[in-house]
Amino acid sequence: MPDSPDINHFRAKLLAARDVNLGLVEARNASAATVVLDQTSVGRLSRMDAMQQQAMAQNTRQRAELSLRLIEAALRRCDDRSYGYCLECDEIINVRRLEFDPAAPLCISCAETHND
């Protein structure tokens, strides 16, 4: 049976990832503001470019918010000592998977089953 992951090591990684994602959300909130449609102040192509940038900023913010939710859930699992165990099968998640994605809630086998 594989060893349990070092919770303190992964908690530090999760906290660092949370800080990065919080910064992304804050930065993208400003970029996702409503685009002014006043043709006298901005040309049509500039507005289209601004709308495209707004859509990309909103998408980035949404991904960062999802990542934050996964990170917060992983931190709660650290607190209740269930971190590193698959939420589906309750087996230990491979440490290499957790190094790649510390917020991973599922082992590879269960994650593959969910993606089918």
Q: What is the pLDDT of residues 56-113, one digit of tens each?
A: 888 888 888 999 999 999 999 999 999 999 999 999 999 999 999 999 999 999 999 9
pTM of the model as a whole: 0.75
Residue 32's SS3 state is: coil
Query: What residues contact residue 49 under an 8 Å CB cut-off, 6+ apart?
Result: none
Separation of alpha carbons 26 and 38, rounded Å:
26
Q: Share the mean pLDDT of the chain.
A: 85
Q: What is the pLDDT of residue 2?
A: 60
The full set of domain ranges for the chain reads 7-83
Rounded Cα–Cα distance for residues 7 and 34 (Å): 42
For residue 63, the surrounding DSSP H or E stretch is: helix 44-79
